[in-house]
Structure 1
Amino acid sequence: MKRRRLTIFFVAALVLLTILSGCNKGDSGKQLVRIGEVTRSLFYAPQYVAIEKGFFAEEGLQIDLTTTPGGDKTMTALLSNAIDVALVGSETSIYVYLQGADDKVINFAQLTQTDGTFLVARTEEEPFDWSNVAGTEFLGQRVGGMPQMVGEFVLKKHQIDPKLDLELIQNVDYGNIPAAFASGTGDYVQLFEPTASIFEREGTGKVVASFGTESGLLPYTAFMARESYITKNEAIIQSFTNAIYKAQQWIISADATEIAEVVTPYFDGVDADIMISSIDRYKQQASYAENPYIDELEWNNLLDVMSSANELKGDVQYGEIVNMKFAEQVLDEVSSK
């Protein structure tokens, strides 16, 4: 009887081990990686390219992509292990770090290197001058988020105090900002693509300036994971970074029409010409990073933007929550060929 119990125990243990070892395997037998993206945007075209062109599959990965609207929700999903990797603004990792999290959130690959929003005016302004914004109603973004911080940074750059020189509206939820502007709220609004281009076509507004061009290079959106996950899954993170680099290089050589064709499945109901014009705008201002490497100058520019918005509550050194080991390896492999 004792021997039979031991046999049953070992069989049960073997079954459990098999189940656990397969927990992170996808239907194809490839390693499953769950990504949570902060929003669905043409700004993240390289990510969709990496999926649709099979770059992740080539690296032995199967991707489960979920949109987790807003930085707070995305970070909550990451910290609670609902996702493995987050695509979100690097500022969220800084907030987590400064709160003293035991398991730090580490930036390991950059996707976009500029702000992705555009200043949309209600009417055509030729030529546009930033001084036009003073004394108006400005429909801004969420307090503490990168779009809003960059918006304030750029306004200050043009000698406009966002708290004193205009009426800054920040009580509208992120998802409702376009509808609020379309219904008459604000003289100016800060919008991502493709919404900005759609508004132009509909006559709702006109793109008059780019916050990405005005604010310079910074790790605006990056892939990040918990430090514990990276430590346990270095091979996965390396494969992931390799796939992103392949997509970034493909984006560089492709034109906006080719890119739009590849990412179409992610944007139901968006006309092809709108997608093409949106992607072209991002390519022209070099929003899509050419490689996953975050350099220290970009990181410091991010800290300057946060400090200008009074959202940086402590010192965050580059090496504390930025790990470029995986980006360096893929770049070293390329340079050695």
Structure 2
Amino acid sequence: MKRNQWLSLFTLVCVLALTACSSEGGKTSVKIAEVTRSIFYAPQYVALEQGYFADEGLEVELQTTWGGDKTMTALLSDDADVALVGSETSIYVAARGANDPVINFAQLTQTDGTFLVAKQPNDNFKWEDLIGSDFLGQRKGGMPQMVGEYVLKQHGIDPHEDLNLIQNIDFANIPGAFTSGTGEYVQLFEPQASKFEAEGNGYIVASFGEESGHVPYTVFMAKQSFLKDNEDTAKRFTSAIYKAQTYIQEQPPEKIAEIVAPYFEDVDKELLSSSIERYKSQGSFAENPILDEEEWKNLKAIMEEAGELPEDIPYEELVNTTIAEDVMAE
């Protein structure tokens, strides 16, 4: 046999050997970028802690990227394979004419996750109490801010005319700014909202999630090319999330709090439990990973109301339900 033939045979044997090793004992690595750290994302942490990803042969690396813009940058620059972020970001990317659009493939939460926190207690809060107040807002064009504006307008309040709207604080620094004296009201996720209440730094007076209806608030998304080249990985990933979603629906908040506690080391477990109960009671955790068309329409209506919808992009272009449907059928 000629030398080149020997080399070709040797290369083939090596490739087959490596493939065999990978299928027997190797795990597929998946990097997730989450937009913030919140008990709102409890199903994700359950999937990690209960070994659902590992059971699917996945080794998941989780990073918190603090803000929709930073999260999407991580995804587009391949610092992450999957992003957990609001669906509005996929619309922004597509509207810029992306050659490799970002596709929503597994929904995690289905309502807004923020609560209106006041500096002073108010057992008889009315939305009109906000008029003329200093309101510490969120990032322009992000889901918390857009949903907040949508809800305020539903109550006859123009956020840009009737409030002193403060929007020059970075997302990660908003809680600290509020405790330092900036703003009379602020939108906060759990468990931060309940933690503020326990510490006397603020008081929950209303829920934006209860007011705004179902939206694809946080969704797992990936570049179209990733889903095409790694369809099996995406299915296994979604399967792990679906198991966690089912677990969340079936188990009491106290048990879930025990499982996710390692992700919130500075938060009391009783407070974690009450935060989970608050989200469960208002239906914030999606029961399955399918993002339906009605939710997509609601999202676009909220974006349009906020003046942030750059283009009316059809549901079919940026949402893949086939992966979730296949997982649920199995």
Which of 309, 312, 315 pairs up with 1:315? Answer: 312
TM-score by length of 2: 0.94
2:269 paired with 1:272:
yes
What TM-score does the superposition give when structure 1 sets the normalisation length?
Answer: 0.92
Question: Alpha-carbon deviations, 1:263-313, whole Å to 9, x = none?
Answer: 111112211122111111111111100000111111100001111111101
Alignment partner, residue 330 of structure 1: 327
Partner residue of 2:240 out of 239, 243, 268: 243
1:189 equivalenced with 2:186 (yes/no): yes
Quick one: which of 291, 301, 304 aligns to 2:301? 304
Whole-angstrom distance in 2 between the partners of 1:176 and 1:58:
37
Q: Cα 1:144–1:32, aligned 2, differ >3 Å: closer, same or farther?
A: same
Aligned to 2:143: 146
Pairing 1:281–2:278 present: yes
Alignment of 1:68-107 (within 5 A): 68-107=65-104
| Contact 1:107 1:322 (8 Å CA) reproduced | yes
What RMSD in Å do the two structures reach over aligned CA positions?
2.2
1:295 matches 2:278 = no
Alpha-carbon separation, structure 2, partners of 1:331 and 1:202: 42
Quote the offset at 1:82 in angstroms.
1.6
Counterparts of 1:56 and 1:47, CA distance in 2? 10
How far, CA to CA, are the matches of 1:113 and 1:26 in structure 2? 36
Aligned equivalent of 1:167? 164
CA contact (8 A) 2:101 2:224 kept: yes
Partner of 1:39: 36
Unaligned runs of 5+ in 1: none
Q: Distance in 2 between matches of 1:114 and 1:71?
A: 17
Q: Contact 2:300/2:312 (CA < 8 Å) preserved in 1?
A: no
* Partner-residue secondary structure (3-state), 2:33: strand
Give the aligned partner of residue 121 of structure 1. 118
For 1:87, what is the secondary structure of its paired residue? strand
Q: Is the Cα–Cα contact under 8 Å of residues 138 and 168 in structure 1 kept in the other structure?
A: yes
Which residue is equivalent to 1:158? Answer: 155
The CA distance in 2 between the partners of 1:261 and 1:139, in whole Å, is: 32
The letter of the residue matching 2:45 is: Y
Find the residue that maps to 1:190 and give its secondary structure. Answer: strand
Task: Please state whether the residue corresponding to 1:161 is helix, strand or coil.
Answer: coil
Report how many aligned residue pairs link the two structures.
330
Could you say what secondary structure the match of 1:189 adopts? Answer: strand
Question: Aligned partners of 1:160, 1:138: CA distance in 2, in Å?
Answer: 12
Aligned counterpart, 1:213: 210
- 1:29 paired with 2:26, answer yes
Distance in 2 (alpha carbons) for counterparts of 1:137 and 1:224: 35
Change over 3 Å in CA distance of 1:28–1:211 after alignment to 2 = farther
What is the CA distance between 1:86 and its match in structure 2? 0.8
Report the Cα distance in structure 2 between the residues aligned to 1:329 and 1:130, rounded to whole angstroms: 43
Distance in 2, matches of 1:117 and 1:259, equals 20
Give the superposition deviation at 1:331. 2.7
Query: 1:204 corresponds to which residue?
Result: 201
One-letter amino acid matched to 1:202: E
What is the CA deviation profile of residues 147-169 of structure 1, one whole-angstrom value per residue up to 9, with x for unaligned ones?
A: 01111111101000001001000
Contact in 2 for aligned 1:39/1:67 (Cα 8 Å): yes
What is the CA–CA distance in structure 2 between the aligned matches of 1:274 and 1:9, rounded to whole Å? 62
Amino acid at match of 2:253: A
Give the ranges of 4+ consecutive aligned residues of structure 1 lying more than 3 Å apart after TM superposition.
3-19, 25-28
SS of aligned partner of 2:324: helix
TM-superposed deviation, 1:7: 5.2
Residue 45 of structure 2: aligned partner = 48
Instruction: Show CA shifts across 1:213-267 (max 9, x none).
Output: 1111000000001111111111111111111111000000111110011111111
Is residue 26–residue 62 contact of structure 1 (8 Å, CA) maintained in 2? no
Query: How many angstroms apart in 2 are the aligned matches of 1:98 and 1:27?
Result: 43
Deviations 1:305-325 (A, max 9, x none): 111111101111110100100
2: CA distance, partners of 1:261 / 1:144: 35
CA distance in 2, matches of 1:330, 1:209: 36
Q: Which letter does structure 2 place at the counterpart of 1:290?
A: E
- The DSSP-based 3-state class of the residue aligned with 1:207 is strand
Q: Which amino acid aligns with 2:153?
A: K
More displaced stretch, 98-107 vs 261-270: 261-270
C-alpha distance 270-36 of structure 1, shift in aligned 2 (>3 A): same
